[in-house]
Amino acid sequence: MKFGIVTFPGSNCDYDAFQAVTDILGEEATYLWHKDHDLQGSDVIILPGGFSYGDYLRAGAIARFSPIMREVAAHAKTGGPVVGICNGFQIACEAGLLPGALMRNSHLQFVSAEVRVRVENSDTMFTNLYDRGEILRMPVAHGDGRYVAPADVLEELEAEGRVVFRYADAGGNINADANPNGSERNIAGIISEGGNVLGMMPHPERACSPLLGSNDGVRLLESILARVAA
Amino acid sequence: MAKFRIAVHITPRKGLLDPQGNAVRDALRTLGFNAVKDVHVGRYILVETDAYDALTAEDAVTDMCAKLLANPVTEDFEIESAVPA
């Protein structure tokens, strides 16, 4: 399976994603330049973390208009898997691939830390190798990670099982102390209506080796492999 | 065609948590401005554009706000009247 990793000017987790796919997962990966118009036959698209276009105007607002995003949107529309991580989540929201938006952290500080997330739905293209309720450890590194959406959209996400990850403490409790950025309902990751676009602020690609503190992110990539290759 | 300048004010959507505005409000109160009730921090954008008339220029900038300058989920915008640039 081929993973296409989009590099925007200012992306800084593209190499981490590339390494996770090639070294850990053992699959093929290719970088897709933001000015390209071709996904080069990629089966899965990763919008990586970073600070595309310097976060000018709003995080992800300009990247959304990169030429490659037209192809990414078309890929998503036909059910192709897209994973937006951190800045990639912000870009996916700005592009309308996912509902809601990411705003400045409620405490106004950049947060770089390991957090815990609880798997809320294990019946998705991205989480089928996790158990529901399982607690995962992954790093976060962002200044604009507070997920917000209108009340009716939040209700819809909850009702349809589209809240995939929630910030939680070690015991699996969802509370304000476990919430690193003030996200509504501790939301850390959501999927699109079609279930094929995932957006999340934590970094699974940086949680792929015990050497780096956690390998809880590996099964996210393996889940895609299991579902898409099946 | 003539050249117009239009000012755009973008503010956090009312009702949404505005931590930046709250921080500035608290700092003002610390300085002794105890009458301050509320502060919101947003963006001010100046657009210069060619248009046939002021109305057309304002319509275009409203469209720009809806499509890029403001986030429809989290922000409100107001545009000022177009002035000749």
Average pLDDT over residues B42-64: 97
Task: Tell me, yes or no, if A61 comes closer than 8 A to chain B by beta carbon.
Answer: yes
Q: Which fold has domain B2-84?
A: Mth169; Chain: A , (3.30.1280)
Q: How confident is the model at residue A228 (pLDDT cuts 50, 70, 90)?
A: confident
pTM given for the model: 0.93
Written as six digits, the tokens of A146 are 């507070």
What is chain A's mean pLDDT, rounded? Answer: 96
Q: Among A20, A201, A15, which residue's Cα sits nearest to residue A117? A: A201
Give the position of tokens 């963006």: B43
A57 interaction partners in chain B (CB closer than 8 Å): 43, 68-69
Would you call A49 helix, strand, or coil by DSSP? coil
pLDDT digit string, tens, across residues A138-163: 999 999 999 999 999 999 999 999 99
Would you call A141 helix, strand, or coil by DSSP? strand
Known catalytic residue: A205? yes
Identify the closest residue of chain A to B45 by CA–CA distance.
Answer: A57
Known catalytic residue: A134? no
* Neighbour-count burial of B29, counting CB atoms closer than 10 A to its CB (0-12 exposed, 13-18 middle, 19+ buried): middle
Percent of all residues in chain A with a pLDDT value above 70, rounded to a whole number: 100
Q: Look up the CATH superfamily of A2-229.
A: Class I glutamine amidotransferase (GATase) domain (3.40.50.880)
Reported ipTM: the value is 0.83
Give the distance from residue A91's alpha carbon to the nearest chain B alpha carbon, in angstroms.
Answer: 12
**Beta bridge pairs of residue B11:** B76
Q: Among A179, A190, A172, A181, which residue's Cα sits nearest to residue A135? A: A172
Task: Tell me, yes or no, if A176 comes closer than 8 A to chain B by beta carbon.
Answer: no
Average pLDDT over residues A31-49: 96
In sequence order, the 6+-apart residues with CB closer than 8 A to the CB of A171 are none
Chain B interface mutation, best of A57, A91, A190, highest count of B Cβ atoms under 10 Å: A57
Percent of all residues in chain A with a pLDDT value above 90, rounded to a whole number: 96
Give the position of tokens 């994603």: A17
Q: Does A229 have pLDDT greater than 80?
A: no
Task: Tell me, yes or no, if B81 comes closer than 8 A to chain A by beta carbon.
Answer: no
- For chain B, the structural domain boundaries read 2-84
Interface touch A182/B16, C-beta < 8 Å = no
Task: Please say whether the beta carbons of A92 and A191 come within 8 A.
Answer: no
pLDDT digit string, tens, across residues A14-32: 999 999 999 999 999 999 9
Q: How confident is the model at residue A9 (pLDDT cuts 50, 70, 90)?
A: very high
Nearest CB partner across the interface for A104, out of B19, B43, B73: B19
Task: Tell me, yes or no, if A32 comes closer than 8 A to chain B by beta carbon.
Answer: no
Task: Please say whether the beta carbons of A85 and A13 come within 8 A.
Answer: yes
Give the distance from residue B85's alpha carbon to the nearest chain A alpha carbon, in angstroms.
Answer: 23
- For chain A, the structural domain boundaries read 2-229
Average pLDDT over residues A48-59: 93
A199 interaction partners in chain B (CB closer than 8 Å): none
Distance CA A208, CA B4 (A): 54
Average pLDDT over residues B12-41: 94
pLDDT at A230: 62
pLDDT digit string, tens, across residues B66-80: 999 999 999 999 999
pLDDT digit string, tens, across residues A88-135: 999 999 999 999 999 999 999 999 999 999 999 999 999 999 999 999
